[in-house]
Amino acid sequence: MSRHSRLKNKLTYPILILVLSLSIALADGTRPKAGTTEIANYEARYTEDGQLIRPNNWREWVFVGMPVTPNALNNGKALLPEAQAVYIDPESFRYWQETGRFRDGAMFAVELTTLMSDGANKDGSTRQLTGRGFFQNEFSGLQFAIKDSKQFADEPGNWAYFSSRIGAAEREYPETMTALPTKNCNSCHQAYGSQDWVFLQLYPVLKAAKPD
C-alpha cells in the first residue's frame, strides 16, 4: 500500500466513525452536544413524583422585566422584598411574537436578588455611581411559572409555580423544586395578571413584542 493510500485511510476512518455516531444519536432521538453544553430544549421536565427538574441556562432566556418591591416601601411586608429579574424561554417568546398568546409549555424564570442597603435612607435606597436608588446585591431565590395542560390540568389556567431559596453563602439552586400550593400564587396571578394569569403590565419587553 502506498503512503498516499495509508494517509487517505487514516483520514477516512475517523470521519466514517463520526458520521455513524451522529446517525445513531439522531436515530434514537438524542441530540448531539455543542462543546460541553447540551443544545437547548425548552420543555419542562419532571421527576416521577412531580417535582420540577430545574431548567438550565435560564439567564440566557429572553429578559422581559424586573419589578423591584423593597420592604422599606411596603411597611416591611413586601411579598417579594427583592429585585425580580424575569425571563421567558426563547421558544415561548417567538410564539408570543407570532400569536400574542402564551403557548402550552411556556416557562417563566424569576431570579431574586437582595437589595443593597447601608441604612442611610429610610426608604432603603442607597447611593451609587448613577445616583440614589435601589441596586441588586446577592442572589436569594429562583422561581418558575410553567403552563402545562397535561401536567397541571386541574390548576387554574394550567399554570403551576415553583420556588426555591438560597442563603448568601450558597451559590447553586436545588436541582429539583416542588410546586407551591395553588392558593399561594394563583389568587394573586388571577387577580392582577392582565393576560392569562401573567403580569403582562410589568413586562415592557413582552408588551413591545406583542403583535397588533
User: What's the pLDDT tens digit per position in 38-68?
Assistant: 446 799 999 999 999 999 899 999 999 999 9
Averaged pLDDT of the chain = 83
Q: CA angle at residue 64 from 168 to 177, to 5 degrees? A: 45
Give residues with Cβ within 8 angstroms of 196, minimum separation 6: 101, 102, 147, 157
Contact (CB, 8 A) for 62 and 95: no
145: its cell numbers: 411559572
Q: Give pTM, 2 decimals.
A: 0.79
pLDDT 10s digits, 167-182: 866 778 999 999 999 8
Contact (CB, 8 A) for 199 and 189: yes
d(CA 82, CA 1) in angstroms, rounded, equals: 72
pLDDT 10s digits, 13-36: 443 333 333 333 333 333 333 333
Measure Cα distances from 185 to 25, 46, 54, 79, 86 in Å. 41, 20, 19, 11, 16
Count of beta carbons in the 10 Å neighbourhood of residue 55? 20
pLDDT 10s digits, 63-89: 999 999 999 999 999 989 999 999 999
